[in-house]
Amino acid sequence: MRAPFTLGTVGHLGLAVRNPKKSAQWFARALGLKKQFDFEDGVAVGNENVTIAFSKGRPSPETIGHMSFHLPDLATLEKALKHLKKIGADIEDPGDEIGPEAPGSPHMGLWFHDPDGYRWELSVQGANPQSD
């Protein structure tokens, strides 16, 4: 059966973290997200595209594979990589950080982990000149 609606932008994503305020500060520094509101045992940060609500709890990064955000072009992805390195983010694939999302994929990305171990991706759609 076909759903009678189409999803829009991400409303919010909720994650359990050790320290919501520290997570909010890290995401502000790493991804430029701004504090949106406080709630019981947590804080939310975001921009016009997404809100991430951090609640105090036991982190469970194994519950999601990763979350991906699109960037407009490879130059911006390279700037993001330089910035993430500068702030000491845990970036995957040291020395070969930017690469295809999967073998043969037309999309390029980079992956990193936040201080609670959740995996994040920044990607550029259709930017891989090596794809089929």
Fold of 63-132: 2,3-Dihydroxybiphenyl 1,2-Dioxygenase; domain 1 (3.10.180)
In tens, the pLDDT along 60-83 reads: 999 999 999 999 999 999 999 999
Q: For the whole model, what pTM was predicted?
A: 0.90
Tell me which of 3.30.70.20, 1.25.50.10, 3.10.180.10, 3.90.940.20 is the CATH number of domain 1-59: 3.10.180.10
pLDDT tens by residue, 8-33: 888 899 999 999 999 999 999 999 99
* Torsion angle of the four alpha carbons 29, 82, 17, 93, in this order, in degrees rounded to the nearest 10: 180
Instruction: Please give the mean pLDDT across all residues of the chain.
Output: 93
Question: How far is the first Cα of the chain from the last one, in angstroms, to the nearest whole number?
Answer: 33
**Percent of the residues in the chain that have a pLDDT greater than 90, as a whole number:** 82
